[in-house]
Structure 1
Amino acid sequence: MSTNPQEDVYKEYLNYDWDSFTEFQEGLQEILDNYLTNLKEQDPSITSIPSLDKQQLIDQAKSFFFCNKTGHIINLDDYNEWKLHNGPSNKKIEEITETQSDAPPYSSNYQELVELITSGKPVPGIKHIPDTVLTDQGSKPTASQRQKPWEVKQENDQ
């Protein structure tokens, strides 16, 4: 195994046996069916999910089920970047498959995540959104102040 724990997670994800994972297969089919139903409601002439949308749905479902099943944290953007530049060869994939049976049943990723959060370090895969307030971009009130019921009555009496 490599010295980079996140790379080990990526390799495990890459080699995961999705075909025999029935919970994933059933969940994916339900996701795809619901998505196609929504598309048909918008345009009844649609008969299938566009390939890019379908691949994105499959990738998101794999990520969700993988995280729930293994307890590992995976960011698809980071994974795809790693796969593009560091994707293992077939030989490495076979080696990973052989060593997976020796892997401990629980991941240390949770402990690493806790350490990152408690130490205030950035967590990989989490995008930082700065706390900014945009000034002078609000709208100015233009409606008159609402009158109280007794004020309305006084105007009607006059």
Structure 2
Amino acid sequence: MELASSTTAPQQSVFELFERYDFDHDPTFQSGLKSIVANNQTKSAQEQEEAIKNARYFYFSRFVQNFDLKEYQAWAAQRSGSTGETSTSSSTQGQSQAQENNEATASDTTTSTADPSYPKSFQEICELIASGKPIPGIRQIPNNLAEGTPSEAKLAPKPKPWEKKAAATAQE
């Protein structure tokens, strides 16, 4: 119970505001969350959940009100010890949201081309270049210009400064 005395009332109100914040209906947060979930598809469900929690903290502290994550975690742990039911309902809500986002991004990736797997380190890229192999995920750009005949110019070219002087002296 010593944590309760160390956490001030304004901090508690910020923590409660963070827990009540509606991340599900915040379009800015949801757009960023899609990319986070897409980048963490290969990771375990626990790692995905941790990434979502970190994204929520980052977004809230950046755009709503700043607070210390470690103090919040201590406050939440102390609070969950006294009210276990609240924390389980919020964690199941977060898991269902993560699952919905996974399904949404999975449908997005099936409609678009498969994301290429980029090399993980600079050393791998150097080895691929040295061996002459193509780097996965890098689009090959053709070495020729646009095919077809170029269009004809519709406007007269703009006169150069020395041409303007010559035209002015010719009119005098």
- Which interval holds the TM-score relative to the shorter structure? 0.3 to 0.5
Greater RCO (Cα-Cα under 8 Å, separation 6 or more): 1
TM-score (normalizing by structure 1): 0.43
Higher share of residues assigned helix: 2
TM-score (normalizing by structure 2): 0.39
Whose Rg is larger? 2
